[in-house]
Each structure stands twice: as structure tokens, then as C-alpha cells.
Structure 1
Amino acid sequence: MALVDNTRIDDTSFRMSEATAGDFFALLKPRVMSLVVFTAFVGLVAAPATINPFLAVVAILAIAIGAGASGALNMWYDADIDAVMTRTAERPVPSGRVRPGEALVFGLILSVLSVMTLGVLVNWLSAALLVFTIFFYAVIYTMWLKRSTPQNIVIGGAAGAFPPVIGWAAATGSVSLESVILFLIIFLWTPPHFWALALFKSGDYERAGIPMMPNVAGETSTRRQIFAYALVLAPIGVLPWYLGYASAGYGIASALLGAGFVWYSWKVLMMPDSDRVMKPAKALFGYSLLYLFAIFAAYLADSVVERALGLAGA
């Protein structure tokens, strides 16, 4: 008893936080998750296979939970740098609403739950791709690349590009060239999307010590690289039509969207060095979100229409 009386124990180390359900939901990065879910859904629906509707819902939910788990693990590890960036300071962990240990356990539990659900109920190929995606984002990107190289978002962008491949694998049990092209669209979209953000948030990244491209190579080099990626992305977006995977309607839509991406990237390239407001960079960042959603929506609509016409003609 004396030992207990004479030993000071800080019980705040053991007490659970008073986080709300909304705080834990915020750990899942719902805006990022929504894009992941949508691209995975496109991969699942566009795949040339029929999947049981119940299993389709299970697959999408598992992918969503896996994406959320990645976000929670990212917020757990990055709490120190999130705290010094204006864009992320109010996230649940740096703001103190969720304790780091809670975020870690939450992310690990969701990771195991999502992978096992997908593997047991759907197929193990899609589950293997999901576990690789979680590992790549949480460990390779978050714990290594993000703080060590200005190519962090280039290599790390692979994690965000896997969802349509996982959706495709969930429906077919395989990976095809068509799904790889969907992967490439997101993979090539990621650097100009995030570098546009980094241009007008470079102060945040500098304070956090993150070697984003504008802070390491300079704004001029970053603008050139954004434009170069746009020139490659635009024709890759049209590739499904060129290879016969999509109709001319998709080809026209993707070509117009790609031209828009090149145009906005050109405006960023031509942006005066004295432009501190960086309206072109902000405009490109906004358009890039529209581009990815619109091109996948066009691909989804094209696949649904083609399938409906095929059934009508059968």
C-alpha cells in the first residue's frame, strides 16, 4: 500500500481520450477514401465478369475500410509534422482529440479486418493487392519516402493507383492490361496534382521538413515537371479507346479532359515567378480533382452502356 501511496502515476497515460465517432471517422481521410472507393467501383463494374451483388458490396466496403486504415496509420505516424502544417494541424491526432496509440490500434484493426474480409468472402488475389497497398502507403510512402526524397509522391503515388486494379481483381480474380491502364492514369495524375498543391503550400512543407519538389528543386523545375507529366497523362487517358477497350464517346471525353489538364498545366508553367497568390496552381489543383473523377465516370458510363447494349442485342 505504501508503494502505491508513494509512487506518482500519471493516469493520463492510460486513460482513453474523449474522442467522438466523428474524430475516428476523420482518421479515415473520408475525402481521399471517397475517391478510392469510386475508382475501385469503376474497376469492379468495368471488369468483364459478373460478380454477385452482395460480394460486390463486400468488396467495395473492404477496399474502403482498407483505404481508411491506411489513412489512420498515416495520421498516427505523421502527427508530428501534421501539427506544424496549417492544412493538417486540426487533424484528430495533432489536435489532441485522438491519442496516437488509439490511432495506431484503430488503423491496424481495420487493416486486418479489411484484408481478411476481402480474402475470405471475395478472393485472395484482391486481398493480397489490398494488403500490399496498405503496406505501401503506410510504410513505404509514409514512413520512408515522404521524409526522404522529393520523388516521394511519384513513387508513393502507386498506393493510390491500385484501387481500380483491386476492384478489377475482386470481380475477375485476375489483373489485365485494361486494369493496368486505369492504374497508370492515377499514377501519372498524382505528381502534378500534389505538386500543384505543394506550390501554394510550400511554406507548410518547409516548416515540416518534408522534401516536396518545390522546396528541393525550386518552383521553376516543379512547374516544368508538372507540364511534362500532363503531356504524358493526356494520351494515357485516351489509351482505353485506342486499344479498343472503350468507345469513341469515351475517347472524345478523355481527349477533351486531357487537353484541359495540359492547358491548366501550361498556365502553371507560364506563371510569373513573382506570382505569390499562385492562382494557376490552385486552378490546376482544382481541375485535377475534376479530371480524375470525370475520366473515371466516363469510363464507368461507357462500360455500363456497352454492357447494356450487349444484353439488348443478345
Structure 2
Amino acid sequence: MSLIAAETAVQARPGISLAEPGDYLQLLKPRVMSLVVLTAVTGFMLAPGSIHPTLAVIAILSIAIGAGASGALNMWYDADIDRLMARTAKRPVPTGRIAPENALAFGLSLSVFSVLLLGLAVNWAAAALLAFTIFFYAVIYTMGLKRSTPQNIVIGGAAGAFPPMVGWVSVTGSISLESVVLFLIIFLWTPPHFWALSLFKLEDYAKAGIPMLPNVKGKPATRFQILAYSLVLVPVGVLPYAMGFAGPVYGVASALLGANFIRRAWGVYRMSDEDSSMAPARKLFAFSILYLFSLFALLLTEAVVEKAFGLAGF
């Protein structure tokens, strides 16, 4: 039997799975998980105080598992629209390699395990915030906002912004202004990042019936919103240096990266609707990933150097 025929048979017979370990790994959205881990570790290392190394590993592992659980629940619920979009059609649930009920059980099991592990080993404040993060992404965003409002990315972006705060609370047991700033960087970064993607994946989202901003308000309104959010994001990205919990290397780098972000957002704003290549939007989307990764990598590096060698703000 061919693979296509086998997948069709699986879809017709619920409960049967052709899944391999790599399919379950794909359910966890490993690329998203890697960014979650980076931002969570950054919050963890920037937080004042200390924690036993074993508990530190458990905390980061719990946050990573919780992020993976969110991804699995998202893929379970979105299987019907995932199969309609070229970007997501080959995911394990829409192709039938993993049965929907198996994906749901996998996501729920990991959710419970990650929250209990973090609570029992580290502290319940961090565990509660992790539980809320999973709930926010799986229920509020995936089940509620994604298919009902063009502001889905704006509000839903909070789910991806919580990990550095969870890392911070794992160490301190409480939320602080610094952790809120880390949250805001990701929260404000999310709309221009995903709206740039939606500009060149417009037909995919329309086919799936997802009310992304360009499908509802049009491309000009989307381009303006991308620029507006970028202009707010960049000063917030410099705040860690301005507030004194990042050094001058971060300060200079965040300003230069921010200037480039605005330059690319301006290019999207000035882009013609007739530009079929959508090159400015594609370039902004790619650069936005580098931007966020660079900010948190720099913050993490500074924090590690300070704690290891006492070189504050190198």
C-alpha cells in the first residue's frame, strides 16, 4: 500500500496511527519551542537571586514541555484548517499520521505533567503562570481568537510572550517590572512578525477562512499597522538597557537592530499592492526572527557573563 493510500485509510479509521517518533516531535513545534526555551532561560538568568542547578534544569525542562504541549493542542484543534494551507498541510494530524484523539491525549498529558513538575520541584507561582500560558494559547487563542477576529495575533501574542516571565518567576516567585518588559518585547514583536507573513500567505489564510488582518482590513491597513507596531516595539526593545538590567553592548545592538527593523517595516509600508513577490514583507518576516533571537541571545549572554565572571554590563 502506498503512503498516500495508507494515510487515507488511517483518516477513515480513527484511532489507528502511522506515527513515528519524529511525528510526535513535530507536534511539539520544535522551532517554536527553541525560541520559547531561549526567552525563558533569559528571564531565568536575568532574575535576581539564585536557584539550585538541578531545579534550574527542571524549570527549563518544564517550560519546554509546556510549550510543546501547547503546540500539540494547537495542531489537534487546527487539523481541519491545517490541511487547507500549503504551509501546514503536511503536519502529522492533517495527513493522518497521528490520529486526532492521540494528539489531544499527548498534548493534555504533557500539559499536566509540565505544570505539576514545575510546581512540585520549583514553585507553584511559576507553575500557575505556565498553566495559564498553555490555556491562553490552546483555548483563548487557538479555539477562540484565531478564527473569530483579525486581532487574533495581537491578543494571542501574549501566549508567546509569557515564557521569560515564567522563567523569572521560577527564580523569584513573583513578577517584576523587568519581567514585564521582557513580556512586552515579544508581545509587540508578534503582530509585525505574523502580519508580514500573512501578506505573502494571504491566499492560504483566505482558503482556511482565518480572518487575518490583510484578509479583513486589506493590505494598506496591514502595512500601516506593521509600521505602527514596529515604531512602538523598537524603543521597548531598548528598555532593558535604559532600565539598567542590560549593558551597553545590548544597548547599542538593540538600537541598531531596531533601526533596521523600522527600515524594513518602512519598506513594507511603502510596498505596492501590485508587488507579487512581496519581497519587502518576506525580508521583514525573516529579519524579525533574527531581531528577536538577537535581543534575547544578547541579554542571556550578558547575564551569564555577569553571574559567572562578575562583569556586569560588559
User: Structures share a fold, TM > 0.5?
Assistant: yes
**Per-residue deviation, 1:240:** 1.1
Note the residue ranges of structure 1 that are not aligned, 5 or more in a row.
Answer: 1-9
Paired residue for 1:132? 132
Relative to the length of structure 1, the TM-score reads 0.94
Count matched residues: 302
SS at match of 1:120: helix
For 1:42, give the aligned amino acid. Answer: T
**Per-residue deviation, 1:274:** 1.0
**Per-residue deviation, 1:51:** 1.1
**Per-residue deviation, 1:304:** 2.4
Paired residue for 1:76? 76
1:236 is aligned to 2:236: yes
1:117-145 Cα offsets, whole Å, 9 max, x none, are 00000100110000000000000000010
- State percent identity of aligned pairs: 67
RMSD: 1.4
Distance 1:15 1:80 in 2: 17
**Per-residue deviation, 1:309:** 4.8
Contact between 2:15 and 2:101, CA under 8 Å: does it hold in 1? no
SS at match of 2:310: helix
SS at match of 1:148: coil
1:144-170 Cα offsets, whole Å, 9 max, x none, are 100000000000000000000000111
Paired residue for 1:6? none
1:256 is aligned to 2:256: yes
Paired residue for 2:158? 158
For 2:86, give the aligned amino acid. Answer: T
Paired residue for 1:245? 245
**Per-residue deviation, 1:308:** 4.0
1:91-141 Cα offsets, whole Å, 9 max, x none, are 000011000000000000000000000000010011000000000000000
Structural mapping, 1:165-314, within 5 Å: 165-310=165-310
**Per-residue deviation, 1:280:** 0.5
Distance 2:239 2:18 in 1: 50
**Per-residue deviation, 1:18:** 2.1
Note the residue ranges of structure 2 that are not aligned, 5 or more in a row.
Answer: 1-9
Paired residue for 2:143? 143
Distance 1:162 1:45 in 2: 15
For 1:227, give the aligned amino acid. Answer: L
Distance 1:190 1:259 in 2: 17
Larger Rg: 1
Distance 1:122 1:194 in 2: 33
Structure 1 residues 45-54 or 87-96, which shifts more?
45-54
For 1:207, give the aligned amino acid. Answer: K
Contact between 2:70 and 2:138, CA under 8 Å: does it hold in 1? yes
Paired residue for 1:3? none
Distance 2:286 2:239 in 1: 24
SS at match of 2:146: helix
Paired residue for 1:88? 88
**Per-residue deviation, 1:296:** 0.5
Paired residue for 1:5? none
**Per-residue deviation, 1:74:** 0.4
Distance 1:271 1:290, change over 3 A: same
Distance 2:177 2:250 in 1: 18
Paired residue for 2:114? 114
Paired residue for 1:7? none
Distance 1:120 1:311 in 2: 34
Structural mapping, 1:22-33, within 5 Å: 22-33=22-33
Structure 1 residues 72-81 or 295-304, which shifts more?
295-304
Paired residue for 2:47? 47
Relative to the length of structure 2, the TM-score reads 0.94
Structure 1 residues 58-67 or 14-23, which shifts more?
14-23
Distance 1:48 1:256 in 2: 28
For 1:20, give the aligned amino acid. Answer: E
**Per-residue deviation, 1:30:** 0.6
Distance 1:137 1:304 in 2: 30
SS at match of 1:147: coil
Distance 2:266 2:154 in 1: 20
**Per-residue deviation, 1:32:** 0.6
Paired residue for 2:57? 57
Distance 1:265 1:152 in 2: 20
Contact between 2:149 and 2:211, CA under 8 Å: does it hold in 1? yes
For 2:134, give the aligned amino acid. Answer: I
Distance 2:30 2:91 in 1: 12
